[in-house]
Chain A
């Protein structure tokens, strides 16, 4: 497919004897928002960890679209790349349990992201030459303008650990965007939010998708949220893909209803 941004090619992953993901296949087209749902322990976060290089899949391959120098696109095999390389190639993510840098300022949280774009080295930072100063200025300005977009600029010099939960969530998304991604992975972005915050988040995701020209793939438990924002949804249970389709199709699928409702009542 010409406009596939990410291709997950029949990926299987084992943790020791536990098969966390089985034969997961997906071709994510450019510019969409797709969702991944499933009960606890279904293997959703593992999929994200496989995409971002935290784990290398036991079987299968993962491809990311890259641009050639002549402007053509091709799919590059990123299966065995280190996470920082994959970030540099254009995938950014957030975490299910917030993982901002707690003892650093909000500004530094942002400045660290996209570190690989910094064009000065050890020598420049020791002697503090013009190159160092102009790069630092640029990094800071860029970080500040990003913070402004997320209405966090007044917090720039606050330690991240001092932020309230809602702002932390925004900071984590802003930090992901600071790496200049083409594909953004959000792991349960609405977790712990009240209905009002959830609605605001919906708006924000739509807005950043447009503003930063992104493709988005997100995990969420919150059904209404997923139904509202995702064009297509994949459903997992015990590592298997049990359904796939538009929100309507998925929500009427008996296997999904069983996996979700059936289990919930037992729990």
Chain B
């Protein structure tokens, strides 16, 4: 009896000492600090919203990094997959069922619709990736660019999902707790894929596709797999975003939206999950700060600068990062909590 108890205690200690334990505990503490701050009104809902957005952008950025950074492809239609996820899940929660955003069953159905959104996005990704990724070179960029536009036009044309007006009144399922959990799980899953023979296949394709094929990697298979996994998580991110903003329309997921995520990937560092996390959070907050600042400049100075100027600033920031640190802020380094223990000696030891 007491021996069993001791075993459990030992197991728990081992868990808390492990990287995954630290990652999960750290996230829990993050939640534990912010949640009450918001509940007691110290942290207002506006900032809570920004935090949620930044967490969702972590999913979007890491998943695009999986395609562009780790597998070395060049997709520029990532938000198209987010649109697929957003529309799939919102159709279920808003148009088909009209759920309130509380209660156990509606939440369960929302989570189901989010996963379904990911699956549909992945399916679309697979169908686009299979013919395109067989070819070497820049076809993917062209096709994904076109895909992003096609998605926009398609949702514009479908009356059932609101056409150009989009879907208003989406229930607010994406609360802080849920977003934190989904982000954590998404990052862990993508991390686990990256640190496996599958991830090594991705990396070898990025490094030298011909050599990779000639040491036995079925490069087309793995390129499609990486692309499909990336599309899945873009779909999940899109579903979360829809239920946070509570309103979606086709324009939100256009080319500029993808550029925004691309900037996060490249500023953070291609091939670095940590970099994507830092950049997603940093740029989301910077974006909010800039919106505020630009509004002030617009109101109190003769300069007419709208929030769209943020994109210019981010582009300058990207160029500056590239000049100063070619491989982005983190290069391909990782925070050590994000590296599985068994890979320890392999670690590209990070900050």
Contact = CB atoms under 8 A, between A and B. Distances in A.
Interface of A: 52, 54, 82-84, 87-88, 92-93, 95, 99-105, 107-108, 111-116, 118, 120, 122, 125-128, 132-133, 135-136, 139, 156-157, 175-176, 178-179
B207 interface: yes
Interface in B208-227: 208, 210-219, 225
B332 interface: yes
Nearest to A159: B348
Given A115-B201, A126-B189, A128-B192, A54 B218 contact: no
A113 B216 contact: yes
B203 interface: yes
**Which 4 A-B pairs give the minimum distances between C-beta atoms?**
A125-B196, A101-B207, A87-B216, A99-B211
11 contacts: A83-B214, A84-B213, A92-B215, A101-B211, A115-B200, A115-B201, A116-B218, A125-B197, A135-B197, A136-B342, A156-B345
A75 B204 CA distance: 31
B123 interface: no
B346 A105 contact: yes
A113 B218 CA distance: 11
Contact of B200 (A83, A111, A120): A111
Contacts, number: 102
A179 B215 contact: yes
B193 interface: yes
Contacts of B216: 84, 87-88, 113-116, 179
A108 B193 contact: no
A253 B320 CA distance: 63
Nearest to B196: A125
The B interface is mostly helix, strand or loop, or mixed, namely helix
Contacts of B95: none
B211 A95 contact: yes
Contacts of B210: 54, 99
Given A102-B207, A103-B207, A179-B216, A108 B192 contact: no
A156 B343 CA distance: 12
A112 B213 contact: no
Contact of B215 (A113, A118, A132): A113
B130 interface: no
Nearest to B195: A125
B198 interface: yes
Contacts of B201: 112, 115
A122 B193 contact: yes
A111 B204 CA distance: 10
B193 A101 contact: no
Given A99-B208, A99-B210, A126-B189, A133 B196 contact: no
Nearest to A160: B207
A178 B340 CA distance: 24
A52 B210 CA distance: 11
B215 A125 contact: no
Given A82-B213, A84-B217, A115-B201, A125 B192 contact: yes
A132 B342 CA distance: 11
Contact of A83 (B203, B213, B342, B345): B213
Contacts of B197: 111-112, 115, 118, 120, 125, 135-136, 139
A251 to B, nearest CB: 32
B215 A175 contact: yes
B345 A115 contact: no
Contacts of A99: 208, 210-211, 214
A93 B214 contact: yes
A166 B175 CA distance: 57
A208 B56 CA distance: 52
Contacts of A128: 192, 340
A215 to B, nearest CB: 18
A116 B208 CA distance: 17
B342 A112 contact: no
Which residue among A100, A103, A104, A112 has the maximum number of chain B CB atoms within 10 Å of its CB?
A112
Contacts of B218: 82, 84, 116
Contact of A114 (B192, B203, B215): B215
B346 A101 contact: no
Contacts of A179: 215-216
B49 to A, nearest CB: 31
Nearest to A105: B346
B346 A108 contact: yes
A112 B225 contact: no
Interface string B173-201: 00000000000000001001101111111
